[in-house]
A and B are shown apart, each in its own frame.
Chain A
Amino acid sequence: DIVLTQSPISLPVTPGESASISCRSSQSLLHSNGHNYLDWYLQQPGKSPQLLIYLGSNRASGVPDRFSGSGSGTDFTLEISRVEAEDVGVYSCMQSLRTPLTFGGGTKLEIK
C-alpha cells in the first residue's frame, strides 16, 4: 500500500497568518499522464470531509483561492494564506493513484 505521512500533526495558527502542511508519499504519485494523484480534504469539527484540492494543485469548486496545493512525485504541500477561524479542522491528503486508496494521518489546524 502507498503510505502518506503528514506533518505537522498539530498546527496552531494566528488568524491572518499563513499555514503550510506537508504530505510525503512512500511512492511517486506522478502518473504517466503528467498528473499527480494527490488530493487534499478538510474535515471541519463534526462534519464530513470536503474536497479542497484535487490532482495535486486544482482547487475544487467553491474553494477560496486562499487554499493552494503544490508538489510532485512524493512531496506535496497545502498552503493556506490569511487563515480564518472557519479554516479550523483536520486536513488530510489522499492518494488515488492505486487501490487501496490511502489517506495521510491528518493535520489538526487550530486557531491561536
Chain B
Amino acid sequence: QVQLQESGPGLVKPSGTLSLTCAVSGDSISTNTWWTWVRQPPGKGLEWIGEIYHSGSAHYNPSFKNRVTISVDKSTNQFSLNLNSMTAADTAVYYCARGFIGTYSREFDYWGQGTLVSVSS
C-alpha cells in the first residue's frame, strides 16, 4: 500500500522559509510519477504548487513568483518543498501527492494526510 507522510513545522514566522518533507512508502520515488505539492488555505479551494520527477525535472506554479523549490532525495525515498518569504496568505494545509503517469496523463491517486502550516510572529 502506497503511503505519503508530510512532516515539518506547523508554525513559520513572516518572511521566513517553510521546509516540508514528504516520505514515500510502498513505492519507489524513481517510478514514472510526478511527485506533487498542493495546498488549501482555510475555507478555500485546492492550489497546485508544483511537481518534480525523479530525474530532478520540476514544474512550478508561476503564482509563487520564484519563491518555491521542490527537490527529490532518492536515497531516502522522499521529496521536499521549500517556500520562502512566507506571509499570512501562505497559511494553509499542505498536501503531498503522487501524480502517477498513466498512458495519457498524471492522476493523483495517493495523497498525504496534510499538514497545517500557520504563518505568524
Contact = CB atoms under 8 A, between A and B. Distances in A.
Asked if A pairs with B, the answer is yes
A90 to B, nearest CB: 8
Q: Is the interface of A mostly helix, strand, loop or mixed?
A: loop
Interface string B11-44: 0000000000000000000000000001000000
B61 interface: yes
A37 interface: yes
A11 B102 CA distance: 32
A33 B107 contact: no
A35 B104 contact: yes
Interface stretch (A12-20, A71-79, A94-102): A94-102
Contacts of A37: 105
A52 to B, nearest CB: 11
Given A39-B107, A96-B106, A100-B62, A48 B112 contact: yes
B67 interface: no
A33 B95 contact: no
Interface string A32-62: 0101010101010000111100110000110
Interface in B63-111: 63, 95, 97, 102, 104-109, 111
B27 to A, nearest CB: 15
Interface of B: 38, 45-48, 59-63, 95, 97, 102, 104-109, 111-114
B95 to A, nearest CB: 6
A21 to B, nearest CB: 14
B45 A48 contact: no
A32 B45 CA distance: 29
A12 B109 CA distance: 27
A106 interface: yes
Given A48-B112, A48-B113, A49-B95, A105 B105 contact: no
A35 B105 contact: yes
Nearest to B49: A100
B114 A48 contact: yes
A100 B46 contact: no
Given A48-B95, A94-B108, 20 more contacts: A33-B104, A35-B104, A35-B105, A39-B108, A41-B46, A41-B108, A49-B97, A50-B111, A54-B107, A55-B105, A92-B46, A100-B59, A100-B60, A100-B62, A100-B63, A101-B48, A103-B45, A103-B46, A104-B45, A106-B45
